[in-house]
Structure 1
Amino acid sequence: MPLTDTACRTAKPKEKPYKLTDGNGLYLEVKPNGVKAWRYRFELSDGATKKESVFAIGDYVIAPKGEMPEQAEERRKGRRFTLSEAREERVRARSLVIQGINPAHHRQQERVKRDYEKAITFEAVAKEWLALKDWEDITKSKRLKMLERVVFPRIGDLPMKAITPVNILDVLRGAAQENGPSVAAEAKRTMSGVFELAISTLRTTSDPVYPVRKALPANKTQHKRPLSVKEIGQLLRDVESHGGRHETLCAFRLMWMTLCRPSEAVEAQWSEFNLDKALWKIPAERMKKRKAHTNPLPLQAVEMLRGLHLITGKYAHVFPHRDVRTRPMVSASFRQMLNVLGWGGKYSPHATRTTGSTRLNEMGYSADWIERQLAHTEQNAVRRTYNHAEYLDDRAIMMQRWADMLDSWKKESA
């Protein structure tokens, strides 16, 4: 006769193990120490003969009163089954036997698979994704820092298959609130790229970024929009009155006076400057195009840097980090300052170069001078071959005029 819950519950241990048969190969083994274990006896053919084996399903348990479905699932993962659940496990084991699969071997393989998947964390795959990118080391380093700051604290330790759209949305909302919409957009693109790699290498089956890709409003900051003359003057006056770090203000002014990239300004080193000759030579490894670039310095920049040298000249970096003086300031300092001043969302430091190019063209300067000042690569191959001129003297005159105009616009009333 099939077993009943009462028979299972009231079975007493004896000096030797004994069995209570349920039928269809399932039985309950009662051990001398009181443990009651579910067993499934089956025969598996190797082609010529049949071999009898026993599959240990798990221990017998009485389901606690008020047990929630998720609690029951956790209990079953711990291999503790009620009578009805043991019968369901027997059916699953039987289906494997019919396919010629030993259920004990199958369970072992599934355990190895689960352990392997748990080891495939987002952080591990993300670092692999970065290593495969044909990027310069500095670009990879910046992207890794973003991941460490924004993404890894939330999902870095999670297995790839365990990450859901809810997790991704949490990352994106946190990034947008704490780091800004541009960083959130970068995090979204990066996470999707990581999942694309994981899918192509069979380590996950879907991209959880896709369902929530439009959950946040589009970044409305017009990064590339050139500022008007009136806006330039107002911005410079606002920054001048900013009560923050002197180094941040100086780095911001250097960016405007030379039209360099934000990272090129904040990571500047004293060894790159020749103030007597009013030149700033940025080494190739710090340039986007990996080609050294020489900037002529207007008088205002030289004067500012000479004064700053009295403060930070003992450090390698012109604008050292506030907390770790052996490291450079981060460009995020600009964004924080602009947010405090109410310019966040209206202007990005990256728009400085667009603004400078637009206004210098309006002032009638040669496009060749302007493009060389911005360290842009000539797109026309023939022209690039024959045009090696740096236009350094011409650019020095142009940038001095530019610095003078900045001072003039800053002094004008709003």
Structure 2
Amino acid sequence: MLTDAHCRNAKPREKLYRVNDYKGLYLEVKPSGVKAWRYRYKIAGKESLFALGDYPSVGLALAREKCEEARKLVKLGTSPVQNRQLEKIKRELDSANTFEAVAKEWIALKDWEEVTKARRLDMLQRVVFPAIGRLPVRHVTSAHVLDILNKTLKRGAPTVAAEAKRTMSSVFELAVATLRADADPVWAVRKSLPPNKTQHKRALPIDEVGKLLVDFDGHGGNFQTLNAFKLMWLTLSRPNESVQAEWLEFDLEKALWEIPARRMKARRDHLVPLPTQAVELLNAMRPITGHTKFVFPNRDDRARPMADAAFRQALKKLGWATKYSPHGTRTTGSTRLNELGYRYDIIEAQLAHAEPNSVRRSYNHATYLEERREMMQKWADLLDEWRKKT
């Protein structure tokens, strides 16, 4: 058996020669002075050589360790040479299939509006990619996931943490389905987030509605953000439906807003009667943004709509973020309108909630418009009244 002194003192000769260690391991000394470790083995009677590195970069102890790993493969009938090639291919595939790459692929596959995809990608870029974006998706562990969730919670963003958890799990689901990951590491830590106790999607009492509207009026933010927020309340539209509103969708003379199917959650056109307050609001916006596609264009790129994240930012600034979210507007409207005695069918038609019966759905769309117009005018008047009482 060799010692380290043997390896150091092996001098080059005119011809290549070998210094044996044991069980097929030897040091090959070349005329150039390069000393290379080799392992000679046989599989199915065929002899092969496996390179283990050069001395002294790979010392005697490490060479023996590498050789022992190779022997274990040989005992299983696996060629160390072929195994190395497969591992190289696997590393190359892993480097191409980073978490970020798979996440972007997942987003591209979703049947979402572009603005929704952009919002989800923005969350990933801010919260998830800095930690695991460059890692092969197969190498992301539950510890990585838990660290992301805990750091997001400590920043005081439980809703963002919950969204990050759901999104990461969906990305891993795609990775597993396409054989790029073995399991979803989110599953092990799925209950790590505390229950959301803020109840920010609850129906607001009347006094809180008035206080919210007054606070938002005086928050000193962007004029567009304020009016998009008001339009959402006056029509009980979804936040994204409000901020993405296009001028071509409105007929202000008829006081109607027709939201196309491509922007609706149920993928059906939706006709919204506009109370006089909403028409006045839109007429006030016309001189400001009437030359653009969107009623509420993005501040930095006028060719895109504003993001409903502006609502959340304003609410956080006002101290409302833990008590109310923009999606709670529709819950509030539905609850209060039911209390006022309006028919369930009319309220559901206004909220564009899915009606499973196609004949009944068509009937609702054609018949309830005038009843909804009366209801929404009453709703807008009540909002003014509640605001004044605050």
The aligned residue for residue 174 of structure 2 is 197
Provide Cα deviations, 1:243-284, integer angstroms capped at 9, x if missing partner: 110111101111111111000000111111122221111111
Q: In 2, Cα distance between the equivalents of 1:132 and 1:308?
A: 36
Q: In 1, Cα distance between the equivalents of 2:248 and 2:106?
A: 35
Deviation at 1:353, TM superposition (A): 0.8
Deviation at 1:97, TM superposition (A): 3.0
Q: In 1, Cα distance between the equivalents of 2:277 and 2:257?
A: 14
Q: In 1, Cα distance between the equivalents of 2:377 and 2:76?
A: 83
1:94 aligns with 2:71: yes
User: 2:261 corresponds to which letter in structure 1?
Assistant: A
Say if 1:323 and 1:377 are closer, same or farther in 2 by CA, change over 3 A.
same
Say if 1:186 and 1:238 are closer, same or farther in 2 by CA, change over 3 A.
same
The aligned residue for residue 40 of structure 1 is 39
Counterparts of residues 76-95 of structure 1 (less than 5 Å): 80-95=57-72
Q: In 1, Cα distance between the equivalents of 2:367 and 2:117?
A: 30
Q: In 2, Cα distance between the equivalents of 1:81 and 1:158?
A: 28
2:52 to 46, 51, 57: 57
User: 1:305 corresponds to which letter in structure 2?
Assistant: L
Contact 2:260–2:268, Cα closer than 8 Å, also in 1: yes
TM-score with structure 2 length normalisation? Answer: 0.91
Provide Cα deviations, 1:328-361, integer angstroms capped at 9, x if missing partner: 1111111110111110110111111111111112
* Higher deviation after alignment, 191-200 or 224-233: 191-200
Q: In 2, Cα distance between the equivalents of 1:379 and 1:179?
A: 40
Contact 1:93–1:103, Cα closer than 8 Å, also in 2: yes
The aligned residue for residue 11 of structure 1 is 10
Say if 1:189 and 1:407 are closer, same or farther in 2 by CA, change over 3 A.
same
Say if 1:153 and 1:271 are closer, same or farther in 2 by CA, change over 3 A.
farther
Provide Cα deviations, 1:151-172, integer angstroms capped at 9, x if missing partner: 3343222101221223223432
Q: In 2, Cα distance between the equivalents of 1:141 and 1:332?
A: 12
Contact 1:221–1:348, Cα closer than 8 Å, also in 2: no
Q: In 2, Cα distance between the equivalents of 1:29 and 1:295?
A: 83
Deviation at 1:175, TM superposition (A): 4.5
Say if 1:391 and 1:175 are closer, same or farther in 2 by CA, change over 3 A.
same
Contact 1:372–1:390, Cα closer than 8 Å, also in 2: no
Contact 1:222–1:348, Cα closer than 8 Å, also in 2: no
Counterparts of residues 355-366 of structure 1 (less than 5 Å): 355-366=332-343
User: 2:17 corresponds to which letter in structure 1?
Assistant: Y
Provide Cα deviations, 1:29-72, integer angstroms capped at 9, x if missing partner: 12233221111223333xxxx443322111122xxxxxxxxxxx
Say if 1:240 and 1:100 are closer, same or farther in 2 by CA, change over 3 A.
closer
Contact 1:280–1:294, Cα closer than 8 Å, also in 2: yes
Number of residue pairs matched by the alignment? 389
Contact 1:296–1:395, Cα closer than 8 Å, also in 2: yes
Q: In 2, Cα distance between the equivalents of 1:170 and 1:328?
A: 34
Say if 1:386 and 1:317 are closer, same or farther in 2 by CA, change over 3 A.
closer
Deviation at 1:100, TM superposition (A): 3.5
Counterparts of residues 198-217 of structure 1 (less than 5 Å): 198-217=175-194
The aligned residue for residue 74 of structure 1 is none
Say if 1:189 and 1:241 are closer, same or farther in 2 by CA, change over 3 A.
same
Q: Secondary structure at the match of 1:295?
A: strand
The aligned residue for residue 380 of structure 2 is 403
The aligned residue for residue 96 of structure 2 is 119
Deviation at 1:385, TM superposition (A): 6.6
Deviation at 1:405, TM superposition (A): 0.9
Counterparts of residues 324-403 of structure 1 (less than 5 Å): 324-379=301-356, 383-384=360-361, 387-403=364-380
Q: In 2, Cα distance between the equivalents of 1:357 and 1:319?
A: 26
User: 2:229 corresponds to which letter in structure 1?
Assistant: F
Aligned-residue CA RMSD in angstroms?
Answer: 2.4
2:249 to 269, 272, 277: 272
Deviation at 1:382, TM superposition (A): 7.0
Q: In 1, Cα distance between the equivalents of 2:359 and 2:103?
A: 41
Say if 1:373 and 1:51 are closer, same or farther in 2 by CA, change over 3 A.
closer
Deviation at 1:387, TM superposition (A): 4.5
Contact 1:165–1:209, Cα closer than 8 Å, also in 2: yes
Counterparts of residues 152-301 of structure 1 (less than 5 Å): 152-176=129-153, 180-301=157-278
Q: In 2, Cα distance between the equivalents of 1:150 and 1:33?
A: 53
Q: In 2, Cα distance between the equivalents of 1:388 and 1:395?
A: 10
Please, which runs of 5 or more residues in structure 2 have no aligned partner? none
Contact 1:226–1:354, Cα closer than 8 Å, also in 2: yes
Q: In 1, Cα distance between the equivalents of 2:360 and 2:251?
A: 31
Say if 1:175 and 1:273 are closer, same or farther in 2 by CA, change over 3 A.
farther
TM-score with structure 1 length normalisation? Answer: 0.86
Q: In 2, Cα distance between the equivalents of 1:244 and 1:220?
A: 28
Deviation at 1:143, TM superposition (A): 3.9
Q: In 2, Cα distance between the equivalents of 1:187 and 1:393?
A: 42
Say if 1:228 and 1:99 are closer, same or farther in 2 by CA, change over 3 A.
closer
Identity of aligned residues (%): 59
Deviation at 1:388, TM superposition (A): 4.8
* Higher deviation after alignment, 21-30 or 136-145: 136-145
Contact 1:13–1:32, Cα closer than 8 Å, also in 2: yes
Contact 2:247–2:293, Cα closer than 8 Å, also in 1: yes
Please, which runs of 5 or more residues in structure 1 have no aligned partner? 62-79
